[in-house]
Structure 1
Amino acid sequence: MTDKKIHIVSFDVPFPANYGGAIDVYFRVKALKEIGYEITLHCFEYGRGRPSELSDLASTVVYYKRRKNPFAWLSRNPFIVQTRSPKKLLANLLKDDAPILFEGLHTTYFLGHPSLKERTKIVRTHNVEHDYYFMLSEQASGWKKRYYSSESKKLKRYESNLQFADLLLPIKQADFDHFSQYSTKIHLLPPCFDQKELVRTSTEPYLLFHGNLSVNENIEAVKWICKEIFDTLEAPLIIAGKDPDSSIIELSEKGFFELRANLNESEMSELISHARIHLLYTNQSTGIKLKLIHSLQTAGHVLVNPTMVEGTILDRYCTVCHQHFDWKHEIEKALDHELDEARFAMRTDLFSTKLNVVENCRKVTKIIEKLEN
């Protein structure tokens, strides 16, 4: 029995680890288990079930229904926080004196509660939430626009509650700079993910864009790629992901690309690992895109726009394209050539040092242990 214990409060059920936030939480739990922590995992449940796999990592898994009562919108607190505030959670956190890791601003309703004043409290910030919701409001219309706009304002006001944390764990340097206004106890923790040994495999001459194709950010990215790059460029492009929007299906029918929809995990992994060129475009700079990490774990060229790598150290491991003609030039140049050995060696070093998941989590546990003593 270990004497190292921790509570982790997750904003969602983190398995299956099939989207950015869930991936980050799941592989952090896995790393802490490997380091030797006994974990009590608290999950807010709203549609992802109660997977038995989590019991393999946590000694105790507790589920709470997320109460999406419309009246929560009238609260001064952000909706994403107010709907994750069951008294049962506080009662369970008080059953021992182990440190508490709150995953995301969403889960911090009890962060400043007097009952937890003497506890070591850590907050993992996945992004600057009010910026993210503001971007969503800019892309939405009708009641969704009003909701996102209201939530952005509430989140910006609520964010000052982070002063009650003993340690903040931002995901990238730009977020570190932002959250430093609330605490001097702050440590940069890069994303956690499925860390596989980098193996150089031969690639095939096709371009790949992958992601959740029902999400507006990715829908807009696909539209931009077709309009700005493939208006004149002819190259074998594959767009892959789940639940493609009707506008993406329409573009595929016009012949812009080959659509691979709703692939299973092994099919998607195969497609990613053998792509000669990965195209990554976004108009949102919040957080770190896990698909960027996945692309860098391959032997393919990774082409990105500046926003994709903004506030990170990852620009030096990619080809950053500023204008549409840069994209076309770099695609034509890379399509006939494998990634050179020096660039691949840089990636290998990146994942063994700066993006080593277990070692990065171990550094955090050492800080927590100092706070506890």
Structure 2
Amino acid sequence: MKILVVCSDFPYPADHGGRVDTWGRIRALAELGWRIDLAVCGKQAPSAADREAASAYVNRILFRERTSKLTDLLHKLPMQVQSRVGLRRMELEGGYDYVLLEGDYVYPILEHPAISPASAILRVHNDEAAYFKALARSAGNPAHKLYYYIESLKFAGLQERMRRKVDNYLFISSKEYDRFRERDPRTISRFLPPPTTREVFKPGTFHRGHVVFIGSLFMPNNREAIQWYLTHVHPKLRGEPGYRFIVAGNTRGRGLDWLKGADLIDVEVHDTPESLDDIYEQGYLFVNPMRNGAGVKLKTIEAIQNGLPVVSTSVGCEGTGLVDGEHILVADSPEAFCDRIRLLLRDPGMAGKLLESSQLFIRTCYNHKEVLKEFFQSLGSPISHEWSASDAQDSQQKNQRHVCDTRG
């Protein structure tokens, strides 16, 4: 079986949320026996080393640089999509059983003569219309706010167009999957949780009071979250023994000027660190204080795998299936958010139980390869030698039992 995976960014190395999800899926498909071609239309061509690493799982890699110009703002397609129209001219081999679109941005691949829309599968990373509307709420610059709002409207139009061309959907968010199923019950769709990134999850270390946030520091909704925390929560916690707030993430060279004037006493900021392992290891717990966003916040899932219990807002954990009080602690007001953090800092036993429960949930329910197997079988793909009818039935029962538990 041959599949074309189409991305808006080269997925290796898997050093942020979108890449983590896409690269994990490529590995799972390769392990299931798929022959994979990878087409990428992005800002920067992959290095020779990154190409070589990806070639262990991918048969053929094609790259085209995205092109953007000011007049793209006037186009009916969102700018992120219009800048990737070069996908229409990729030199593809053809003969693909399926084409997997990693998000709405790569929509132009459906207009390539070698691609049959009937074979298209859309991985829904975000409800982009809702996501850009959330970015508009988070942005401080009026011009940026207007841009995000207009893009939101364009994405809403694109989503309607894609529904006429795409018959198969894989949702990263259980919340957005449920919403889609209510609206389009006849369309083939699945909730496909993000892949786990660690074969062995890290244990918690509760001997210091470090609170950690790791996320893309160039994104306005992440910046808004950090500023909210620094203004409303951080000052109230500085009296806790050993407390320190550690922030890390990629700024894409845009710097940290947005933190000027913030209370940075007992705060540590790491701009684009080479590795996050040491930062996770320093932490006692992870916070996700996001106020606006859409889709699944992979930072929450990553933190749990790396041994940190989580305190989050409702936005920061939506679509994950994680339950307040059972897997994580959820609060939306500054006072309640602060109380949840203080509770865990003062009770390592409770922090450990919360982490253990959340890790078990992810280990059980986020079985990426099993859901992919069942999904392709439902599309009528041939069953490989390792995938028998009894395996399919067992997997289907397992997914019904566990995946349904993640929606509620």
Sort the TM-score into its range (normalised by shorter chain).
0.7 to 0.9
1:59 aligns with 2:59: yes
What secondary structure does 2:354 align onto?
helix
Compute the TM-score of the two structures, normalised by the length of structure 2.
Answer: 0.81
Q: How many residues align?
A: 365
Percent identical: 22
Select 1:333's aligned residue among 326, 343, 352. 343
Paired residue type of 2:173 = K
User: Partners in 2 of 1:18 and 1:82 — Cα distance?
Assistant: 26
**Partner of 2:173 in structure 1?**
172
Residue among 306, 318, 342 paired with 2:314: 306
- Which piece of structure 1 moves more, 150-159 or 333-342? 333-342
Q: Does structure 1 retain, via aligned residues, the 8 Å contact 2:88–2:111?
A: no
Q: Taking structure 1 as reference, are residues 241 and 81 closer, same or farther at Cα in structure 2, changes over 3 Å only?
A: closer
Query: Aligned pair in 2 of structure 1 residues 39, 258: CA closer, same or farther (>3 Å)?
Result: same
The offset of 1:232, in angstroms, is 2.8
Asked whether the equivalents of residues 299 and 339 of structure 1 are also in contact (C-alpha less than 8 Å), the reply is: no
Question: Aligned match of 1:346 in 357, 363, 368?
Answer: 357
Instruction: Give the C-alpha shift of residue 123 in structure 1.
Output: 0.6
Q: List per-residue Cα deviations over 1:233-270 (Å, max 9, x = no partner).
A: 22322222334522436536x414233333221xx213
Equivalence for 1:72: 72
In the TM superposition, what is the alpha-carbon distance from 1:88 to its structure 2 partner? 5.0
Give the conservation status (yes or no) of the 8 Å contact 1:285–1:310: no
8 A contact 1:112–1:161 mirrored in 2: no
Kindly state the Cα deviation for residue 133 of structure 1 after the two structures are TM-superposed: 1.3
In 2, are the aligned partners of 1:279 and 1:302 still within 8 Å (CA)?
Answer: yes
Of stretches 323-332 and 362-371 in structure 1, the one that deviates more from structure 2 is 362-371
Query: Partner amino acid for 1:323?
Result: S
User: 1:117-132, aligned counterparts within 5 Å?
Assistant: 117=116, 119-132=118-131
Gaps of 5+ in 2: 384-408
**Residue 152 of structure 1: how far off its partner (Å):** 1.3
Q: More deviation in 139-148 or 280-289?
A: 139-148
Query: Do the aligned partners of 2:286 and 2:309 also contact (CA within 8 Å) in 1?
Result: yes
* CA shift for structure 1 position 116: 4.2
Deviation at 1:293, TM superposition (A): 0.6
> Displacement of 1:60 after TM fit?
0.5
Cα distance, 1:22 vs structure 2: 1.7
Deviations 1:297-332 (A, max 9, x none): 144331111111224311341111232222222222
Aligned to 2:280: 272
Aligned 8 A contact 1:277 1:300 in 2 = yes
Alignment equivalent of 2:39, drawn from 35, 38, 42: 42
Structure 1 residues 270-296: Cα deviation after superposition (integer angstroms, max 9, x where no partner):
321442121111012301111101111
Q: How does 1:177-188 map to 2 (within 5 A)?
A: 177-180=178-181, 181-182=183-184, 184-188=187-191
Counterparts of residues 100-139 of structure 1 (less than 5 Å): 100-111=99-110, 116-117=115-116, 119-138=118-137, 139=139
Matches within 5 A, 1:1-373: 4-50=1-47, 51-52=50-51, 53-86=53-86, 89=89, 92=92, 95-111=94-110, 116-117=115-116, 119-138=118-137, 139-163=139-163, 164-180=165-181, 181-182=183-184, 184-205=187-208, 206-234=210-238, 235-243=243-251, 245-248=256-259, 250-251=261-262, 254-265=264-275, 268-316=276-324, 317-340=327-350, 342-370=353-381
Contact 2:88 2:112 in 1 (8 A): no
- Does the Cα contact within 8 Å between 2:127 and 2:294 map onto a contact in 1? yes
- Between the aligned partners of 2:19 and 2:228, the Cα distance in structure 1 is 27
Q: Out of 332-341 and 12-21, give the one that drifted further.
A: 332-341
Amino acid at match of 1:99: Y
Indicate how the Cα distance of structure 1 residues 339 and 161 shifts in structure 2: closer, same or farther if over 3 A, else same: farther
- Judging changes above 3 Å, is the alpha-carbon distance between structure 1 residues 262 and 64 closer, same or farther for their aligned structure 2 residues? closer
Question: What residue identity is the alignment partner of 1:173?
Answer: S
Determine the C-alpha separation between the residues in 2 that align with 1:11 and 1:120.
19
Separation (CA, whole Å) in 2 of partners of 1:263 and 1:90: 34
Measured in 1, the distance between the counterparts of 2:198 and 2:216 equals: 21
Q: C-alpha separation between the residues in 2 aligned to 1:137 and 1:356?
A: 34
Q: What SS does the corresponding residue of 1:161 show, helix, strand or coil?
A: helix
Q: Give, in angstroms, the shift of residue 161 of structure 1.
A: 2.2
Give the Cα separation in 2 of the matches to 1:112 and 1:166. 15
Gaps of 5+ in 1: none
Alignment CA distance shift 1:118-1:246 (3 Å): closer
Whichever residue aligns with residue 299 of structure 2, its letter is K
- Structure 1 counterpart of 2:56, which letter? D
Deviations 1:315-366 (A, max 9, x none): 3411112322222222222113335464344234323321123223333332
Contact 1:195–1:356 (Cα < 8 Å) also in 2:
no
Contact persistence 1:237–1:257 (CA under 8 A): yes
Matches of 2:370 and 2:232, distance apart in 1:
41
Relative distance call for 1:87 and 1:134 in structure 2 (3 A) is closer
Letter of the aligned partner of 1:9 in structure 2?
V
Cα gap change, 1:331 to 1:343, in 2 (>3 Å): closer
- Residues 1:66 and 1:262: Cα distance change in structure 2 (over 3 Å): closer
